[in-house]
Structure 1
Amino acid sequence: MSYGFQRFFFLFYYLACFWPELRAESNLRIVNQWAELEFVFPDEETKQIALTKRHYVPGKSVPIDVDVQYRKDTLSPRIFVTTPRFGEGRPVTLGTVDENGKISGYPDYSWHENQGQNCEGLTSVFRTAIDECNRLWVMDTGNGGGTQHCSPQLLAFDLDNDKLVYRYRFNQSVYNERSGFITLVVDVRPGDCGDTYVYVADVSTYALVVVDVARNRSWRLTHRLFYPFPSRGNFTVDGENFELMDGVMGMALSPWRGNSDRFLYFHALSSTTENVVRTSVLKNDSFLADPNVDPKLIRVFPDERPNQAATEAMDRNGIMYFGLMDPPSIWCWNSATEYNQRNFHQVAEDRETLQFASGVKVINNLKGEQELWVLTSSFQRVITKSLSSNRTNFRIHAGKIPVILARSPCLFPPKNRPDDYYANIIAAPAE
């Protein structure tokens, strides 16, 4: 981020906070936008080799997720993006965005140039998560272009020095050749970085995989609510239609409230329902022997969204954020209220810039303020093969949550109701 852009960044927030009438209607600003992604290579020779081998085909890369690290030694945040390898031509699958909008491989280019042929590197990354211990968690599917080159692997990098501090390779007891490990959430006990669980969604074979980091083991859970709904497999975004039959994709953890149990909210991409389960249920690996977890422990909310959503995130106050497909928009829901459309409140709507919100994150800045970051794309044109470099296709948006929720009903739940009020009503306690 250049000095001039930094000045604009802080001027924007100053105006947004003190002169509300000057704010954009959505209260989300565009941080980066691209017609097609550009990449930084170690040198020109390396770039030419990638072009010759078709490891780099301009216009092929599609960003899916965004993450942000605020660093104490600089005013500018470090922005991460993922670019899964759906096919050939994607030179980097996880990178950082420089001040010119170009993407450099993270932690360096050597982790990416193998294109899945060396399982010590990164094959294809859909999503990441940064935890309170300043670790970047990376879920690598191991699958590039439809070929399972390597076992799926979960990695963690120490963001203080960008060194690998954890690697877990999944064995075939928890995945098969059709699996798609594409979304993860990290559950860390406050004050104890060693007590960490990671919940991974298998979008293609409809399961959740739990990784117990301290004990270096994992187990797989199946349940009917992890499946897509055939009636929700048709999508419309910006007037274009496509079909997808994807299972669990969106996941969000409730805030810590002084005990070891939290709620995991989740939904299939091809659905309009939201589900909830206590994390104590997920952490109980005795369910491994039961292919269908007790349905009383994993519950679905009775009401539904108006249409499909991809990912979601929850802030420290128990407010969830998610994008809807039609119209392209971002919404909030306070978990102290019932999950229904009366309690969904719009944060932003823009039919051009907010199409397909595939990355939604709540980020803490250096002042302890929470920010909402969203990555949107013309993903429908990727599916229909109508993507064009003549228009802007990908955008990263950001806004301070107190600003974007100013006067929003999401800030004013019923009195004397804690967050997760509704989840507590419908989700039976774990035995």
Structure 2
Amino acid sequence: MVSSRYNWECRSLLNQYDPFLLDIYKTEMGYGIDRFFLLSYCLACCWSGLGAKDLRIVKQWAEVDFIFPNETARQSALTNRFYVPGNSVPIDVDVQHRKGPAKSRIFVTLPRFDEGRPVTLGTVEEDGLIKGYPDYSWHDNQGSNCDGLTSVFRIAIDRCNRMWVMDTGKIGEKAVCSPQLLAFDLSTDQLIYRHRPDPSSYIASSLFITPVVDVRGDRPNDCSDTFVYVADVSGFGLLVVDVLRDRSWRVTHRYMYPYPSHGSFTIDGESFDLMDGILGMALSPYVIGKDRYLYFHALASTTESVVRASLLRNDSFIDDSNADPQSINEFSGERPNQSAAEAMDSDGILYFGLMEPPGVWCWNSGTEFSTRNFHPIAINKETLQFSSGMKVVKNIKGEEELWLLTSSFQRVMTGSISSDRINFRIHAEKIPTLIENSACKHPSKGDYVGKYADRISPQIKRRRYKYGSVAFL
């Protein structure tokens, strides 16, 4: 019934428009959020050849299951409630494309919100089962061995074939280990780096969930200049890790906090509250000799903020974590509703999900951050409900692909999830195919990558700043 109503609305609205006048009506779309997104939805869903494409579903599950070393290990996990069938929730995805006969590997994370998750990071096997990475022994500890993996929300694979893993050290709300950042060489699957932040770099409520890797160098194999920026979703800040010098510091700013007015979510008719701070993050493309921008937003928000990476890489934050109020800025435009994960390609196009309509959208960073410059990539009310993981990945041919993990997260939050329907999906498609006819691909003349980030991000010399009137006493 609902589908019929949407189709009727689409047909009625599209009958008013001549296909040859669409460029004229693009301006009209900018006059109101509701009108813009209704038009976009109709164009994407009801007019073939225009708007959104289909994202290929690579894997899907009603509930995930795992590979255990043997039946004894499986029974032990069941007995100790380290494995509770149906409890595991995949959150993030990343992909390693390998040359030669070796097949590509799909990695997923399954954070330990609670008991019953036997593996927190694994590879997706051909039959859909999850195999612990690098092997099961890293996970068979449930916090008893802090040299293993406790709970991982998201990962990041860099151009140097390293996978960066941020371990929160928490099971549920309980901190059983210190947080740690690890890197694995994907050529050998060996641990090559481990960093445990100093306790001064986080607070009791900290939950490190999204790592973004900033690798710079004049040569393709130059990987020494590496920084990792990690979102602290509950501590409302950033952890900055200088890998070469093996040190880290905390950065805080008001834009990393949740917005109370956007802490309620409704997806597919089910509602829940979640006051999560900074979560979605993406780096602008690296150009030798130029600065990069880190784009970010809180889950409980509709805004997007931006900061120069050079500011974050300043180690004076070791002494004072508070960023200058003017050094991190927020775009004046807003999304129509909340977004979780995001990713940026080499052309400076940002991809992000929306809760309503459920789908994936793009924005060219050379244009103003505004609803009139948000364009649909894929919209599907059933399969794209909550985009918790998103990556731009280069394949062996050098083509960029968009990978996405979506879930019925609202049912996880409300406790209504069941195994009689598909709840989790991994999607993928080549980016040139996705944006073939998209306005994101063709910004206006004179626009360039990061143009509007440049406008609102002045070069500010780092100085100490403390929030609150006490700073002036």
Quote the residue 1:315 is aligned against. 345
Q: Which amino acid aligns with 2:400?
A: Q
* 1:380 maps to 2:407: no
Q: Map of 1:183-222 to 2, 5 A cutoff?
A: 183-190=210-217, 191=219, 192-222=222-252
1:30 matched residue in structure 2: 57
Answering whether residue 139 of structure 2 is matched by residue 139 of structure 1, we say no
Q: Report the 3-state secondary structure (helix = DSSP H, G, I; strand = E; otherwise coil) of the residue aligned with 1:173.
A: helix
Alignment RMSD, CA only?
1.5
Question: How far, CA to CA, are the matches of 2:374 and 2:102 in structure 1?
Answer: 34
The structural deviation recorded for 1:23 is 12
| 1:135 to 1:235, Cα distance in 2 relative to 1, 3 A | same
- Aligned partner of 1:151 in structure 2 is 178
The range that moved more, 147-156 or 284-293, is 284-293
Which residue does the alignment assign to 1:162? 189
Cα offset for 1:99?
Answer: 0.5
Secondary structure, in 3 states, of the residue corresponding to 1:286? helix
Unaligned stretches of 5+ residues in structure 2 = 1-47, 462-473
Residues 224 and 292, structure 1, Cα contact 8 Å, conserved in 2: no
Find the counterpart in structure 1 of residue 438 from structure 2. 408
Other-structure match for 1:114: 141
Match of 1:57 among 75, 84, 87: 84
Deviations along 1:250-291, whole A, 9 cap, x unmatched?
A: 000000122251000000000000000000000112134445
Provide closer, same or farther for how the CA distance between residues 104 and 23 of structure 1 changes in structure 2, counting only shifts above 3 A: farther
Cross-structure match for 1:281: 311
Matched-pair identity in %: 63
Task: Please state how far the C-alpha of 1:388 moved relative to its aligned partner.
Answer: 0.5
TM superposition shift of 1:26? 2.8
Q: CA deviation at 1:414?
A: 1.1
Q: Does 1:68 align with 2:95?
A: yes
Within the candidate set 265, 271, 278, 1:235 is matched to 265
1:51 partner SS: helix
Query: Following TM superposition, by how much is the alpha carbon of 1:209 offset from its aligned partner in structure 2, in angstroms?
Result: 1.0
- Cα drift, residue 25 of structure 1: 5.8
Match of 2:421 in 1: 391
**CA distance in structure 1 between the partners assigned to 2:396 and 2:266 by the alignment:** 39
Shift of the 33–22 alpha-carbon distance from structure 1 to 2, 3 Å rule, reads farther
Counterpart selection for 1:125 from 136, 143, 152: 152
Q: Provide Cα deviations, 1:1-52, integer angstroms capped at 9, x if missing partner.
A: xxxxxxxxxxxxxxxxxxxx89996331000000000100111111111111
2:311 maps to a residue whose letter is V
AA in 2 matched with 1:57: V
Q: Specify the SS of the correspondent of 2:75.
A: helix
Question: Conserved in 2, the CA contact under 8 Å of 1:189 and 1:260?
Answer: no
Letter matched to residue 173 of structure 1: S
Following superposition, the deviation at residue 126 of structure 1 comes to 0.2
Which amino acid counterpart does residue 414 of structure 2 have in structure 1?
T
Which deviates the most, 290-299 or 325-334? Answer: 290-299
For residues 90 and 58 of structure 1, what CA distance do their matches in structure 2 show? 8
What does residue 72 of structure 2 align with? 45
The residue that corresponds to 1:294 in the other structure is 324
Query: Per-residue CA shift, 1:339-386, capped at 9, x if unaligned?
Result: 000000000111110011000100000000000000000111111111
- What amino acid is the match of 2:139? H
Please state which structure has a larger fraction of its residues in helix. 2
Residues 237 and 327 of structure 1 are in contact (CA less than 8 Å); yes or no, is this contact kept in structure 2? no
Q: Quick one: which of 340, 347, 369 aligns to 2:370?
A: 340
- Cα distance in 2 between the residues matched to 1:75 and 1:45: 30
Larger Rg: 2
Q: What TM-score, normalized to structure 2?
A: 0.85
User: Does the Cα contact within 8 Å between 1:151 and 1:171 map onto a contact in 2?
Assistant: no
Residue 259 in 1 paired to residue 289 in 2?
Answer: yes
State the match for 1:354 in structure 2: 384
Structure 1 portions without partners, runs of 5+: 1-20
Contact 1:42 1:109 in 2 (8 A): yes
Alpha carbons 1:112, 1:123 under 8 Å: kept:
yes
More strand as a share of residues: 1
Contact kept, 8 Å, 2:170 with 2:176, in 1: the verdict is: yes
Distance 1:276 1:306 in 2: 19
Structure 2 Cα separation of the partners of residues 395 and 286 of structure 1: 42
- Conservation of the 8 A alpha-carbon contact between 1:27 and 1:403: no
1:109 CA drift (Å): 0.2
Q: Which amino acid aligns with 2:181?
A: L
Residue 111 of structure 1 and its aligned partner are, at CA, apart by: 0.1
Task: Give the letter for the 1:72 counterpart.
Answer: K
Q: 1:253, 1:263 within 8 Å by CA — same for their partners in 2?
A: yes
Cα distance in 2 between the residues matched to 1:23 and 1:50: 50
Q: 1:363 aligns with which of 374, 390, 393?
A: 393
CA distance in 1, matches of 2:370, 2:424: 30
- How far apart in 2 are the matches of 1:380 and 1:330? 17
Contact 2:162 2:184 in 1 (8 A): yes
What's 2:122 paired with?
A: 95
CA contact (8 A) 2:229 2:241 kept: yes
